[in-house]
């Protein structure tokens, strides 16, 4: 399992780096990609929580509290990263950047509309393999289920805050922080949580 998680963290990091250097993706393009991924993972997290709740008969209060904390952390992370982009660029428009993301063409095909289903499919396949096939709903409590997600979300929040604080540096630093966040979450999880 650890080897698969390391490969997953590597792939989550290498694609944006390649996009930045070889396909001329901007930091906002990479962020939108991550935002969609975070939101899809959050939905999968709630699906898992629903399955745990129905299997174990837990009260909805734990799910609501843990889910609210997780969702607020994601919204805070997204807000911090967007605010950092606003501060970095004088003419930044989230609406224009989102349209540019969705309409980005590679080989004449708008890639944004291809990325959406790929992200959802990737998250669903991960959820299916790591949760449903492993029957996690029988082995983890609701609090345990949300722990990894909180670490993952907090790592992006911390990376966003650091990026905002160090805004005067080159955009490479923000890219390093953004790509390093899943690796940071994996390290924290392996060293402190998974034992």
Query: Would you list the domain boundaries of the chain?
Result: 2-6+28-193
Give the pLDDT score at 187: 60
Give the pLDDT score at 168: 56
Give the pLDDT score at 149: 82
**Phi (first) and psi of residue 110, to 5 degrees:** -60, 115
Give the pLDDT score at 178: 62
Give the pLDDT score at 162: 76
Task: Report DSSP letters for 88-117, one per residue.
Answer: H-TT--HHHHHHHHHH-EETTEETHHHHHH
Give the pLDDT score at 167: 64
Give the pLDDT score at 171: 59
- The pLDDT averaged over each successive group of 10 residues in the chain (195 residues) is 64 74 78 85 87 78 85 87 76 80 74 79 82 72 78 80 68 61 60 52
């Amino acid at each position: 399992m650890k080897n698969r998680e390391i490969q997953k963290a590597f792939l989550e990091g290498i694609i944006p780096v390649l996009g930045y250097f070889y396909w001329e993706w901007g930091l906002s393009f990479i962020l939108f990609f991550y935002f969609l991924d975070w939101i899809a993972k959050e939905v999968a997290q709630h699906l898992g929580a629903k399955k745990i709740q129905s299997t174990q008969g837990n009260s909805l209060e734990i799910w609501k509290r843990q889910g609210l904390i997780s969702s607020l952390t994601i919204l805070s992370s997204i807000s911090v990263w967007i605010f950092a982009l606003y501060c970095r660029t004088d003419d930044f428009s989230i609406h224009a950047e989102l349209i540019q993301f969705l309409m980005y063409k590679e080989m004449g095909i708008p890639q944004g509309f291809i990325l959406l289903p790929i992200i959802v499919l990737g998250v669903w396949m991960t959820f299916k393999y790591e949760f449903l096939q492993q029957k996690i709903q029988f082995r983890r409590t609701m609090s345990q289920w949300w722990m990894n997600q909180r670490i993952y979300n907090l790592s992006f929040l911390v990376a966003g805050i650091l990026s905002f604080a160090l805004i005067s540096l080159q955009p490479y630093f923000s890219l390093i922080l953004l790509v390093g966040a899943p690796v940071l979450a994996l390290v924290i999880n392996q060293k402190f949580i998974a034992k």
